[in-house]
Structure 1
């Protein structure tokens, strides 16, 4: 009974550490007083480790923050590259919107009901028979 909640508490602690390390990585330029207890160290084998002194936690950085965040941390994107990525995304969005608008315009240009030539012939026959 004494150790039943230990796994849950360990998971909660791990989630807290994970959140704080991710926050530290995202805002590594801003050094807050509460974030001074997190440090990132490189081992001799080339792996990066996150050390959290308040929670007494040392763990590998990649599983803590995820693959994408880890790659962004290793290879930071410069401001110019971010701007070009945003421009290309905006261009792709506008191209897609324009293509959809053109398609809708062409679709709306035609009438909603199809015109059947045999229908006209039937109307003419009805008029003649009356």
Structure 2
């Protein structure tokens, strides 16, 4: 009366196979080549156009804006000096009501990243762009 199901009827042998992946290395290479061609044919972004417009002026990578990473500096203030500074600000906070809005809550850090790093790198890149624009315009 009842027919029994066989695993091949349910296609269980195909469940473990990925059908969307190419089976040979040659087809994988084709997919990668096609994706790279599509990437090359895209319109260049403004950032990429700006980067490509700058000539290679033999500036070492550690001085370039995009090649330089943030660096940590050893704090010149010792922990004791920081604690003294902190207690002084707490006293000012307790006495002067108007100063309460301008209090900065900080913790001691032995190494810190300087705040002026990003502004100096921005100005460096701006100077490079201005020099390039003067050459193009002249």
Q: TM-score by structure 2 length?
A: 0.29
Q: TM-score by structure 1 length?
A: 0.30
In terms of fraction of residues, the more strand-rich structure is 1
Identify the structure with bigger relative contact order (alpha carbons < 8 Å, sequence gap 6+). 2
